[in-house]
A and B are shown apart, each in its own frame.
Chain A
Amino acid sequence: MTIVAEFTIQRRQILDANAVLVAPLPRFAADIGEIVKMYAAMTRVRVFDAKAVNLQRTGQLGTYPSSLGHEATHVGIGAAMQPEDVLAPVYREYGTQLWRGVTMREILAYWGGDERGNDFAGPRHDFAWCVPIATQALHAAGAAMAFKLRREPRCALAYIGDGGTSEGAFYEALNLAGARALPVVFVIVNNGWAISVPVAHQTNAQTLAQKAVAAGIPGIQVDGNDVLAVRHVVGEALQTARRGGGPTLIEALTYRLSDHTTADDASRYRAEAEVKAAWAIEPMLRLREYITRAGAWSDDRESALLQECSHEVDAAVSEYLSGEPQSTDAMFDTLFAQLPDHLHAQRATARRYAAKRGGASS
């Protein structure tokens, strides 16, 4: 017998749940200001997220998937990416998107049932939210192919959920990216649950990172609640990809502290004790403690930050709520570069019925 292949999977962590440094600080972390900036971004998205859930509860937003608990993964990735890179999100990575310039108003518009939310004023080249599971992994590979063919030093980064790793499109993307050494990084956000189905029910594999092995690309786990480790590991993978070294699969271990969406009730299938345990290792506490110990944070700065975030969120909410609704023309106007004749007639019909009712419904 000859062993022809073996694999190991590393798990990386820098700041543990007790706010103890368990690995050397990466270069970006030499400036405590950089860490404070990430902490502020994590706070910003958490404040936004709580408000969005509240808007849904009060009938002012549609079904909304909360990002509660994912802040370190999302912000760490935002900070690791370059503006010219391309993000292929799933649908709850607001921390990355806000970092990259997507606005709160756009996020609210999308989940408020308005297509204009997908028309980002900020990162024009980023993909829109992607509800059909795992399909975005191939889009990221395709974008990476474009960068490679044009010899641009850019990368694509695709998010995928733990449940998404069961879809064929996920494996197909890894396989192609490996075979063509594409400049793409795949990040599995393993938050434990695909709606009601736990990871152990998706796969018998010990880790999701090892899904990389069959594609012949590196796979690595990172503590997804440790923003320093996430930024560092993703940054390394992006650098490798940018230099022509090919793709990496990263599994970020975190926890979905919320329901799947506001339409879900996780208490039907998930033990309260598990959620409680997850709160003890959530990403904000350790980081706050770390920057406080480093003398870079205080209760005063915390309350000032919270107030600043609330003001920003409130302003975005009132913009969202007072915005002009789309007319029914919006159903037709961006369907084709040039609207075919028969759709002109349908557009006119839709206008006529909206007018009879006194404007488009909202």
Chain B
Amino acid sequence: MVEAISMAQAWELEHDAAVVVLGQDVGANGGVFRATAGLQARFGADRVQDTPLAEATIAGMSVGMATHGLKPVAEIQFMGFIYPALDQIINHMSRMRYRTRGRLTCPVVIRTPHGGGIHAPEHHSESMETLLCHIPGLRVVCPSTPARAYGLLLAAIRDPDPVMFLEPVRLYRAVRQEVPDDGRALPLDRCFVLRTGVDVTLVTWGAMTLETLRAAAELEGEGVTADVIDLATLSPIDADTILDSVAKTGRLVIVHEAARNVGLGAEIAAIVAEHALYDLQAPIQRVAGYDTIMPLFRLEHDYIPSARRIIDAVRVTLAAP
């Protein structure tokens, strides 16, 4: 996936003179995950810039650049370091268009690694998408395959508004897939249905698509088939795809790595409760990270939902009278 992300940035650098890539170590080093590998050599140090080590700088500079004709594609090195940037993102980037009545706009992409599972150090493994999804005026995207990373990142860069682009670290090198470098974007307002079935709807995103697909495959062996939906764009949510599926299956299990409390799963559950309560044959189940700190890596796989936990949650929905 990491090559697809680099490829999408290269495409846009090549085809849109306004695009500027910036961040810590994105230049000569090509990013700590190699997501900007080779870009500075190819496009020069003005278009692919190493910033000082300051996240508020990266976000605030991006606001200034974007309001004045550039399209910054900024990298925050790990999601755990995004917090100094939030003041700029919340108070300026997300509302620049709104408060200036469209006079100034912020076509910014902030890319940041997301989630755990790679034995990284403290503060390197968090899933904080809910923080971003709660901010009006932002789009939040989280791809789950190289092809979707490529197509969605192109769409994010071309979008006229700010997009937070969360890259699951576990997928950077986990999945290999041939991705044509054709400059074709994917829609930012659609879920992706990864697998179809009739008994239960499983909604997830990012790296949790792996465990969820594994659970669905195992359940199929027991004669239980599932729709597996990759949310992909976490905000705004494509409710239609989810509601259509629930209308068919009558059962919903939401899976996310982030903590359960006020997680995005609660929003999805609320949407389904509001619009499709009478389609449901069983209470909605959430399988999520626990409401505690993402532990250091010895325990991270006890924190991250497993296929086993997903299967058990599906069984709960099937057992409902």
Binding site for B on A (CB under 8 A): 62-63, 91, 110-115, 129, 131-133, 161, 163-164, 166-169, 194-197, 201-203, 261, 263-264, 268-269, 325-326, 328, 330-332, 335, 342-343, 346, 349-350, 353-354, 356, 360-362
**Cβ-defined partner of A263 (8 Å) among B32, B54, B81:** B32
Interface check B309, CB cutoff 8 A: yes
Classify the interface of chain B: helix, strand, loop or mixed: loop
* B53 pairs with A194, CB closer than 8 A: yes
* A353 pairs with B309, CB closer than 8 A: yes
* A195 pairs with B29, CB closer than 8 A: yes
| Most A CB within 10 A of own CB, among B54, B57, B301 | B54
CA gap between A214 and B295 in the complex, in Å: 39
* B121 pairs with A131, CB closer than 8 A: yes
Q: How far is the CB of A357 from chain B (nearest CB, A)?
A: 8
* A353 pairs with B306, CB closer than 8 A: yes
Binary interface encoding of chain B residues 292-321 relative to chain A, with 1 for a CB under 8 A from any of its CBs, else 0: 110111111111001011000000000000
CA gap between A360 and B295 in the complex, in Å: 12
CA gap between A328 and B301 in the complex, in Å: 10
CB-CB < 8 A to A114: which residues of B? 296, 298
**Cβ-defined partner of A331 (8 Å) among B81, B122, B292, B309:** B292
* B295 pairs with A115, CB closer than 8 A: yes
CA gap between A201 and B274 in the complex, in Å: 53
* A133 pairs with B296, CB closer than 8 A: no
Q: Can you sample 26 A-B contacts with CB below 8 Å?
A: A62-B119, A111-B121, A113-B298, A114-B298, A131-B122, A133-B81, A163-B52, A167-B53, A167-B84, A168-B54, A194-B24, A194-B53, A196-B28, A197-B50, A202-B53, A268-B30, A328-B299, A346-B260, A346-B292, A350-B302, A353-B302, A353-B309, A354-B302, A360-B298, A361-B301, A362-B298
Considering only CB atoms, which chain A residue lies closest to B303 in the complex?
Answer: A331
| Most A CB within 10 A of own CB, among B52, B298, B303, B306 | B298
Interface check B86, CB cutoff 8 A: no
| Most B CB within 10 A of own CB, among A110, A113, A326 | A113
* B123 pairs with A131, CB closer than 8 A: yes
* A112 pairs with B52, CB closer than 8 A: no
Interface check B290, CB cutoff 8 A: yes
A113 touching B50 in the complex, CB below 8 Å, given contacts A168-B84, A331-B303: no
Considering only CB atoms, which chain A residue lies closest to B83 in the complex?
Answer: A132
Q: How far is the CB of B172 from chain A (nearest CB, A)?
A: 12
Q: How far is the CB of B110 from chain A (nearest CB, A)?
A: 17
**Cβ-defined partner of B296 (8 Å) among A113, A167, A264, A332:** A113
Known contacts A269-B29, A325-B298; 13 further A-B pairs (Cβ under 8 A):
A62-B121, A63-B121, A110-B122, A111-B121, A112-B298, A169-B84, A196-B50, A197-B25, A264-B32, A326-B299, A331-B299, A331-B302, A360-B299
CA gap between A343 and B260 in the complex, in Å: 11
List CB contacts (< 8 Å) of B26-49 with chain A: 27-30, 32
Q: How far is the CB of B136 from chain A (nearest CB, A)?
A: 25
Binary interface encoding of chain B residues 47-84 relative to chain A, with 1 for a CB under 8 A from any of its CBs, else 0: 00010111111000000000000000000000011011
